[in-house]
């Protein structure tokens, strides 16, 4: 009777202790028995569960008797499954004949036919060429440049070097928002003192044209497998896509970004969640925000992206870099003024904001033309519109705050611009 009439387990425990002088341990042992379900609270739980099941049964019966409602629910469930499992098929469906043919081909493959993965060094040049070297040849070339000074091949120079392997892929993005991949092993080996291979020739013939149509290129290495790709357009639209979507593309490539009329892709930057993006405009404004799902959500390939930064009528985007908050950036203006500042000097803001004025100009005609991550141990290569090349050690540039002035020792020759 005590257990049956008690409203809940706590009341039953107190009643047992008072009437039979049970200890806490003894009362808990009794209540832990199935008899505890006879309390009013547990009986109510069973009744509620029964009512819910009865109501659900009634709803299902009504659904089975109403074809229109049944199809609506089915469509909703199928859409949910599609969103959850709409990844690319990893298995291949083969007929018996196809499987037998492939098995025969694999059996006939000799050890000599199996390509051995090799380490290579890729050099990308300012004029849009790629040079594939062995690590030994690259080391020998670096040694010669150290002894004799850096040399330019036919007015060109190296802007990026990546170490990779022949079985990895090179991702190439164009101004039209298209992405293509090519196997590193398919890139021709570069003879000594050769200019290299035009990057544009690695694309399908339909994409051939002006070498400047290529916006960015980098190796899809294991180091950035979990990174995202940040795309930024001339009109200030930003979009974030997983880099995994760009692996094993067909020869037709992939449309990474749907562009509005008159817009084009300007920057493509690999970035990891938690890193910071710094955007810069020709007016000297800069905006820093974190890469996360709140600021830059991952979008589908057909999306046009969202607003990244507000641009003035005469302003243009001139840079987009991904970095850590402890890093530094180097800015340079058209008239040769340079400035080095910590990224933390830029207030953390939201994507789509106006940004802060990070560089003041000595004349109204001057504009910001470049921004790059900076490290005291590195050099920055600057090029004028007359193809004059200057290498600037960043140790010569003092660190300034957001409101600090720029140095004028970079001034190009008369009537020339950076």
Domain edges within the chain: 1-47, 115-220
Query: CB of 319 within 8 A of CB of 370?
Result: yes
**Torsion sign (Cα): 179, 182, 183, 184:** negative
- In this prediction, residue 17 carries a pLDDT of 87
> What pTM was computed for the model?
0.67
H or E element in which residue 52 lies: helix 40-64
CB < 8 Å & 24+ apart, contacts of 116-120 = 117/165, 117/166, 117/167, 118/165, 118/166, 118/185, 119/163, 119/164, 119/165, 120/163, 120/164, 120/165, 120/166, 120/184
H or E element in which residue 230 lies: strand 228-233
Q: How many CA atoms lie within 13 A of 70 on its CB side?
A: 8
CA 161 to chain centre: 20
Rounded mean pLDDT for each run of 10 residues along the chain, 418 residues in total: 76 86 84 61 76 91 89 87 71 78 72 69 90 87 58 71 91 92 90 84 75 87 88 94 86 88 93 94 95 91 88 91 93 89 93 92 90 85 77 84 70 52
Q: What SS3 class is residue 205?
A: helix
Q: What SS3 class is residue 211?
A: helix
Query: CB of 307 within 8 A of CB of 236?
Result: yes
Relative to beta strand 265-271, strand 228-233 is antiparallel
CA distance 125 to 134: 17
Neighbours of 67 (CB within 10 A): 9
- The structure tokens listed for 263 are 């817009």
Of the candidates 364, 365, 371, the residue with the CA atom closest to the CA atom of residue 346: 371
CA distance 315 to 235: 10
Query: CB of 309 within 8 A of CB of 281?
Result: yes
- In this prediction, residue 107 carries a pLDDT of 73
Q: Which residues are CB-contacts of 132 (< 8 A; sequence separation ≥ 6)?
A: 120, 121, 122, 184, 187, 188, 189, 190, 196, 197
**Torsion sign (Cα): 357, 362, 366, 368:** negative
Of the candidates 215, 186, 185, the residue with the CA atom closest to the CA atom of residue 200: 215
- In this prediction, residue 414 carries a pLDDT of 44
- In this prediction, residue 150 carries a pLDDT of 47
CA distance 285 to 233: 17
């Amino acid at each position: 009777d005590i257990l049956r009439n008690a409203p809940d387990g706590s009341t039953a425990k107190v009643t047992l202790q008072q009437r039979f002088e049970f200890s806490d341990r003894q009362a808990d042992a009794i209540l832990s028995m199935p008899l505890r379900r006879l309390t009013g609270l547990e009986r109510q739980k069973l009744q509620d569960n029964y009512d819910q099941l009865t109501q659900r049964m009634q709803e299902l019966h009504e659904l089975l008797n109403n074809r229109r409602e049944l199809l609506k629910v089915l469509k909703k469930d199928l859409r949910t499954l599609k969103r959850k499992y709409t990844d690319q098929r990893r298995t291949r469906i083969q007929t018996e004949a196809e499987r037998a043919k492939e098995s025969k081909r694999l059996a006939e493959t000799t050890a000599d036919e199996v390509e051995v993965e090799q380490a290579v060094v890729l050099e990308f040049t300012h004029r849009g060429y790629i040079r594939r070297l062995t690590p030994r040849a690259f080391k020998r070339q670096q040694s010669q440049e150290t002894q004799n000074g850096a040399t330019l091949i036919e007015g060109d120079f190296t802007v990026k070097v990546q170490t990779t392997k022949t079985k990895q892929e090179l991702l190439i993005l164009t101004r039209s928002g298209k992405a293509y991949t090519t196997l590193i092993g398919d890139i021709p080996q570069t003879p000594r003192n050769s200019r290299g291979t035009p990057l544009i020739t690695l694309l399908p013939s339909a994409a051939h044209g002006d070498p400047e149509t290529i916006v960015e290129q980098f190796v899809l290495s294991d180091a950035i497998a979990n990174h995202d790709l940040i795309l930024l357009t001339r009109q200030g639209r930003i979009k974030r896509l997983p880099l995994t979507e760009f692996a094993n593309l067909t020869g037709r490539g992939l449309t990474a970004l749907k562009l509005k009329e008159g817009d084009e892709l300007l920057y493509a930057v690999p970035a990891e969640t938690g890193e910071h993006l710094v955007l810069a405009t020709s007016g000297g404004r800069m905006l820093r925000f974190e890469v996360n799902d709140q600021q830059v959500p991952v979008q589908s390939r057909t999306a046009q992206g969202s607003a990244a930064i507000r641009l003035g009528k005469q302003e243009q985007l001139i840079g987009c870099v991904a970095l850590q908050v402890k890093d530094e950036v180097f800015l340079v203006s058209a008239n040769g003024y340079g400035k080095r500042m910590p990224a933390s000097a830029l207030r953390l803001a939201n994507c789509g904001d106006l940004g802060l004025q990070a560089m003041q100009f000595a004349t109204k005609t001057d504009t910001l033309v470049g921004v790059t991550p900076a490290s005291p141990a590195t050099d920055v290569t600057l090029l004028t519109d007359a193809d004059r090349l200057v290498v600037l050690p960043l140790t010569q540039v003092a660190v300034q705050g957001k409101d600090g002035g720029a140095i004028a020792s970079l001034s190009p020759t008369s009537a020339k611009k950076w």
